[in-house]
Amino acid sequence: MAASEAVAQLFCGPPLCFDACVNTSNKGFRRIQFYNGSSKRFSVRRWNCQRGESVGGLSADDGRLQTSFPVNGLSNVQNIELDKKLNNKNGGLLANRLDSIGAKSVEDEAWDLLRESIVYYCGNPVGTIAANGPNDSIILNYDQVFIRDFIPSGVAFLLKGEYDIVRNFILHTLQLQSWEKTMDCYSPGQGLMPASFKVCTVPLDGDDTATEEILDPDFGEAAIGRVAPVDSGLWWIILLRAYGKCSGDLTVQERVDVQTGIKMILKLCLADGFDMFPTLLVTDGSCMIDRRMGIHGHPLEIQALFYSALLSAREMLAPEDGSADLIRALNNRLVALSFRIREYYWIDMKKINEIYRYKTEEYSYDAVNKFNIYPDQIPPWLVEFMPNRGGYLIGNLQPAHMDFRFFSLGNLWSIVSSLATPEQSHAILDLVEAKWAELVADMPFKLCYPALEGQEWRIITGSDPKNTPWSYHNGGSWPTLLWQLTVARIKMGRSEIAEKAVKLAERRIARDRWPEYYDTKRGRFIGKQARLFQTWSIAGYLVAKLLLTDPNAAKILVNEEDSELQNAFSYMISSNPRRKRGRKQTFIV
């Protein structure tokens, strides 16, 4: 028996055995259920949590404890009935719902679906399920609430004035932050936020007749590839700020436990390591691209979220003596991070031409080609792709390696967070317009461009059959990115293109049943392994629609360029670190 099985057995003896939830920690609110041994069913005693329909039970079929996860907004018992109906080819509730598509506006349908994806814990809404597809035979972890996936759902609810679910999500995920979790005897750093969580029903300690609901987080220790979710904590901070700005309720961010949560995330990100770079060093798969795609190192997406989270945290941290060092470290990091990204990640025609003529092997403090980039690395596709007008931030920078791929989320969020300068931000949008056929074509928006193919695909992805060229993370098109595109365009006063993208998506996204992603160079096919009724595709569309109606509301997500930071940045540029050895400099902003 494997060690993990032995441990699992300690927690679950028959008949109350369950697969996913072996954690018996007693954090969080509880609802107690009682087991009636004779009928092998649970009867529910209403405790302080009162929502009857999200009750779990022991299925008569296999004697396993079912989780109380409310798929489609329904309880397990209801869902079992629903499944039965769906399996009956003559119809069923969901099938009827599918038939009704077309009768409603796309937006109305999206709202219905978003509400049906809500997950309840002790009767309170705490998040949205990742995907709610009717025919998913292998659920994997799409039945969980992903932190990153919930962000567009949360923003949609905020913009609609429904604040409770976001508040609950923020506070419940905060409880999970310091959950004791280990992988092969090792725990994640304090402050890590989980990638996802689910609501489970487990036997109550010391009482075989009762169960309780718990939140069971996954920090990557169960995830495919065991990927650590670096982006979760950063998104959490961004959502917390948006909640305060939108609802006007600052009491949440002012709470002592929330302030502590923010500081724990910051401490984890700002901790000293071996690195000489201000960018965050992460493993492959640490963000939306959560599989091996050659993005380990200092990927742009993480840096943009990091910058945004630092600025947002600075706005929310209560001034107190104990945080002075943290704020100082945060300010220094902001300056160094923006300098690095703006200077070294930026490419346009002019910069590529510089790289094309780089000298290599420069040993000196004032090298021009600091990272020893060999000009032969400039890929042939880039020569075609780079428009005369426009530019973008590359995906990653390492010694002797520039990852020239265009990563959409990193570029869009660099605009939103003001990590890119205003000129760079406009240039990125110019490139999006010039390269519409490559980046959007039939469905917004390519996650990255171009796809890895042939030998490169084999080596970099490890021959990943899910990430084949122009599919999934490897050049697939993700409708959820509509919302980030819209925020970026609104911030730069150029929202027309976002409208065009939304209209394009609207032509087929509902008919296609809200896929997770699309395949092929032009995004013409529903992704080979794409989930249907993917919640962040639905929510991403809704946020884009809501913001286009009220562009002013985009402010809850935008970080404006900070003038003090700008001054510090100009000082760094004028002291010209390209030529001189930088003196140790601390910027007090």
In DSSP notation, 176-187 reads HHT----BTTBP
Any idea what DSSP says for residue 446?
Answer: B
- Look at residues 281, 326, 270, 285 and name the one whose alpha carbon lies nearest to residue 303: 281
What is the closest distance, in whole angstroms, from the C-beta atom of residue 291 to ligand GLC in the complex? 7
Residue written as tokens 């929202």? 495
Least distance (Å) between residue 567 CB and ligand GLC: 37
φ, ψ for residue 449, nearest 5 deg: -140, 135
Among 18, 69, 146, 235, binds ligand GLC (CB under 6 A): 146
| The one segment of 141-149, 165-173, 489-497, 551-559 that binds ligand GLC by CB under 6 A | 141-149
Spatial separation of the C-alpha atoms in residues 521 and 342, rounded to whole Å: 29
| Position 113 contacts ligand GLC (CB under 6 A) | no
Tell me the two tokens of residue 260.
């502590």
Between 149 and 216, CB nearer to ligand GLC:
149
Question: Looking at beta carbons only, is 132 or 396 nearer to ligand GLC?
Answer: 132
Number of Cβ atoms within 10 Å of the Cβ of 491:
24
CB of 412 closer than 8 Å to CB of 481: yes
- ω into 445 cis (within 30 of 0): yes
> 216 or 290: whose CB is closer to ligand GLC?
290
* CA 479 – CA 517 distance, rounded (Å): 7
109, 284, 290, 348: which one binds ligand GLC (CB under 6 A): 290
Choices 4-12, 146-154, 214-222, 294-302; region in contact with ligand GLC by CB under 6 A:
146-154
Q: How far is the CB of 310 from ligand GLC (least distance, A)?
A: 22
Out of 65, 94, 122, 130, the only residue in the binding site for ligand GLC (CB under 6 A) is 130
Sign, CA torsion 548/550/553/558: positive
Q: Is 148 in the site for ligand GLC (CB under 6 A)?
A: yes
Beta carbon of residue 554, minimum distance to ligand GLC (angstroms, whole number): 23
Interface stretch with ligand GLC, choices 143-151, 180-188, 232-240, 258-266 (CB under 6 A):
143-151
Question: Which candidate, 527, 518, 438, 532, places its Cα nearest to that of 478?
Answer: 518
Q: Work out whether 288 is an interface residue with ligand GLC (CB under 6 A).
A: yes
Neighbour tally for 160: CB within 10 Å: 13
Q: Phi and psi of 530, rounded to 5°?
A: -70, 140
292 binds ligand GLC (CB under 6 A): no
Question: How many Å apart are CA 316 and CA 245, to the nearest integer?
Answer: 11
Residue 149 sits in the site that holds ligand GLC (CB under 6 A): yes
Of the pair 253, 484, the CB lying nearest ligand GLC is at 484
Q: Distance between CA atoms of 212 and 224, rounded to whole angstroms?
A: 28
Q: Report the nearest approach of ligand GLC to the CB of residue 451 (Å).
A: 16
Give the binding range for ligand GLC (CB under 6 A) out of 144-152, 172-180, 256-264, 329-337.
Answer: 144-152
Question: Which of 212, 290 has the CB closer to ligand GLC?
Answer: 290
Nearest-approach distance from CB 224 to ligand GLC, in angstroms: 8
Beta strands in 113-195 (DSSP E): 118-121, 124-128, 145-146
CB hemisphere CA count around 150 (13 angstroms): 34
Cβ distance to ligand GLC smaller for residue 148 or 435: 148
Nearer to ligand GLC among residue 146 and residue 219 (C-beta): 146
CA–CA dist 474, 19 (Å, integer): 32
Contact status: 213 vs ligand GLC (CB under 6 A): no
Q: Return the range that interacts with ligand GLC (CB under 6 A); candidates 9-17, 84-92, 145-153, 432-440.
A: 145-153
Chain residues in the site for ligand GLC (CB under 6 A): 130, 146, 148-149, 288, 290
